[in-house]
Amino acid sequence: EPEVTQTPSHQVTQMGQEVILRCVPISNHLYFYWYRQILGQKVEFLVSFYNNEISEKSEIFDDQFSVERPDGSNFTLKIRSTKLEDSAMYFCASRLRQGGRELFFGEGSRLTVL
């Protein structure tokens, strides 16, 4: 069964370092998302991406965050200068088409900022 895959499963980094989290969405999906879950808190929407541009972003998604789809298969989330409060589980998700109601999530990438 097709699935969304994310790498790395766990990354530890020093505060101020750049981090790139990678996602390979399901191949025929058109809409891509990043969510995150800080330990003990809710899963929160970060950003949605369609047709090579951001379609919506939350207030969490500030200038330190960026997304891109560099090669038509990968979908990446970059954090330019990590802060302690960026420590969280980051989930990538994809969706087939407009009106498709199911989001397919990856297993998540756990980011620990020291």
Partner 1 sequence: AQSVTQLGSHVSVSEGALVLLRCNYSSSVPPYLFWYVQYPNQGLQLLLKYTSAATLVKGINGFEAEFKKSETSFHLTKPSAHMSDAAEYFCAVRANSGGSNYKLTFGKGTLLTVNP
Does residue 88 bind partner 1 (CB under 8 A)? Answer: no
Q: Report DSSP letters for 86-102, one per residue.
A: G-EEEEEEEESSTT---
Does residue 90 bind partner 1 (CB under 8 A)? Answer: no
| C-alpha to C-alpha distance for 8 and 102, rounded to whole angstroms | 24
Site string for partner 1, 58-87 (x = CB under 8 A): x-----------------------------
Cβ contact 95:4 at 8 Å: no
- Rule CB under 8 A: choose which of 20, 44, 64, 74 binds partner 1: 44
- Rule CB under 8 A: choose which of 12, 15, 43, 114 binds partner 1: 43
